[in-house]
């Protein structure tokens, strides 16, 4: 069964929403939660890559390879004994290669550092030619950008990695049980995307098709005809255009004519309002439908978040729900 077939239980149909992005967000959420609340479980998400020849000439770039966490690095010496490789600060990585330094790394006391450009180097480096004995094992986790998510097959594989004279094929290192959380988190992302789409639509319905420009022009014309002045073609105020002017001049016919014209302009403004109200009546129906969808999505969101909390309570030990986030106690 595909991821999406399980997700519809929580979020309904998945239409124009981006399923791929939702799944990637969900995978990254899982990794972040595990690191925050149950770091002892992180090794369950890691994959081992074994280097057999020198690796520092073309080192692992943790940024380019989307490394989320280095779990452990170990070096197998020529004696075939395994030693833990200890991380040292970037500023003393050169000392790790200086035989005169107290930080000098040896085969029996190896170290590694990540430089300012995100390159991971191990000291001492492996030989240029595989001697079948000395090796470096890197246990690491990559984020969603370093994974290949097959929605239909329900697999979350780490992409292939070539480093230190060896290639690790694409393989899955994502615990099966956490895929249930991925389904729920991805469904929640789809619901939130639907909610955001409705929110983005609401302002358009609130304004309707009201012709503000024509309305303002009609009201302005009425005002000019009654109490102010209109301008002639040259832009010069024409004082004799207002009803007030003709009232002072005691020309009742012109006063009546101006007021009638002003009334026509006000009627035109009222027509725009009436048309807007008609549009709003139609939009109110649409708005009611949108709000119904909004309410349903809210119920779906509450349901999936409830199940997500239950999952964390079951799989993350001493999980505490403070209604906002999970914490480890």
| Helix, strand, or coil (residue 56) | coil
- Report the percentage of the chain scoring pLDDT > 90: 61
pLDDT at 116 over 50: yes
Residues 87-106: what's their mean pLDDT?
Answer: 96
Residue found under tokens 């789409």: 197
Q: What is the pLDDT of residue 283?
A: 62
Residues 55-59: what's their mean pLDDT?
Answer: 96
| Helix, strand, or coil (residue 231) | strand
Q: What is the DSSP letter of 78?
A: T
Q: Are strands 147-150 and 47-51 parallel, antiparallel or unpaired?
A: unpaired
Q: What is the pLDDT of residue 198?
A: 77
Q: Which of 30, 37, 21 is nearest to 68 (CA)?
A: 30
Q: What is the pLDDT of residue 304?
A: 93
Q: What is the pLDDT of residue 141?
A: 98
Are 51 and 166 spatial neighbours (Cβ–Cβ below 8 Å)? Answer: yes
Q: What is the pLDDT of residue 225?
A: 59
Are 160 and 168 spatial neighbours (Cβ–Cβ below 8 Å)? Answer: yes
Per residue in 272-296, pLDDT (tens digit) is 666 665 555 546 677 778 778 888 8
| Helix, strand, or coil (residue 319) | strand
Rounded CA separation 50/75 (Å): 10
Per residue in 212-269, pLDDT (tens digit) is 677 667 666 655 654 554 455 555 445 555 544 555 555 567 657 766 776 676 676 6
Mean of per-residue pLDDT scores for the chain: 83
pLDDT at 313 over 80: yes
Rounded CA separation 185/174 (Å): 15
Per residue in 11-27, pLDDT (tens digit) is 999 987 899 999 999 99
Q: Is the dihedral of CA 37, 43, 44, 46 positive or negative?
A: positive
Rounded CA separation 291/81 (Å): 67
List Cα–Cα distances, 66 to 18, 104, 182, in angstroms.
Answer: 22, 29, 19
Half-sphere exposure of 240 (CA within 13 A, CB side): 5
Among 37-51, 132-146, 245-259, the least confident range: 245-259
Q: Are strands 230-231 and 161-163 parallel, antiparallel or unpaired?
A: unpaired
Residues 75-83: what's their mean pLDDT?
Answer: 95
Residues 161-175: what's their mean pLDDT?
Answer: 97
| Helix, strand, or coil (residue 30) | helix
Sheet bearing 86-87, strands edge to edge: 60-61, 119-123, 111-114, 86-87
**Which residue would you say has higher pLDDT here, 249 or 152?**
152
Rounded CA separation 262/208 (Å): 27
pLDDT tier at 205 (50, 70, 90 boundaries)?
very low
Query: Residue ranges per domain, the chain?
Result: 47-172
Rounded CA separation 208/273 (Å): 11
pLDDT tier at 325 (50, 70, 90 boundaries)?
very low
pTM of the model: 0.73
């Amino acid at each position: 069964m595909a991821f999406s077939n399980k997700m519809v239980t929580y979020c309904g149909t998945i239409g124009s929403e981006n399923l791929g992005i939702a799944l990637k967000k969900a995978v990254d959420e899982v990794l972040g939660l595990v690191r925050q609340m149950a770091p002892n479980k992180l090794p369950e998400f890691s994959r081992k890559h074994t280097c057999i020849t020198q690796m520092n000439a073309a080192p692992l770039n943790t940024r380019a390879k989307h490394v989320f966490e280095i779990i452990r690095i170990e070096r197998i010496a020529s004696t075939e004994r395994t030693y833990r490789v200890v991380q040292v600060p970037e500023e003393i990585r050169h000392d790790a290669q200086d035989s005169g330094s107290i930080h000098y790394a040896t085969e029996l006391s190896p170290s590694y550092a990540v430089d300012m450009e995100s390159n991971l180097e191990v000291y001492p480096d492996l030989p240029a030619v595989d001697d079948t004995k000395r090796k470096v094992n890197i246990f690491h986790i990559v984020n969603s950008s370093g994974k290949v998510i097959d929605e239909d097959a329900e697999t979350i594989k780490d992409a292939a990695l070539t480093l230190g004279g060896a290639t690790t094929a694409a393989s899955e290192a994502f615990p099966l049980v956490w895929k249930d959380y991925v389904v729920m988190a991805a469904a929640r992302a789809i619901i939130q995307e639907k909610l955001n789409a409705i929110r983005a639509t609401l302002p358009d319905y609130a304004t309707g098709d009201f012709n503000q420009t024509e309305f303002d022009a009609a009201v302005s014309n009425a005002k000019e005809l009654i109490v102010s002045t209109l301008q002639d073609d040259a832009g010069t105020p024409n004082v004799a255009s207002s009803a007030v002017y003709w009232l002072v001049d005691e020309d009742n016919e012109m006063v009546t004519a101006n007021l009638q014209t002003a009334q026509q302009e006000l009627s035109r403004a009222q027509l725009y309002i009436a048309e807007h109200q008609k549009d709003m009546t139609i939009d109110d129906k649409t708005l009611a439908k949108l709000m119904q969808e909004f309410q349903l999505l809210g119920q779906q969101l509450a349901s999936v978040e409830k199940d997500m909390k239950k999952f964390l309570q079951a799989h993350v030990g001493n999980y505490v729900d403070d209604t906002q986030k999970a914490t480890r106690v």
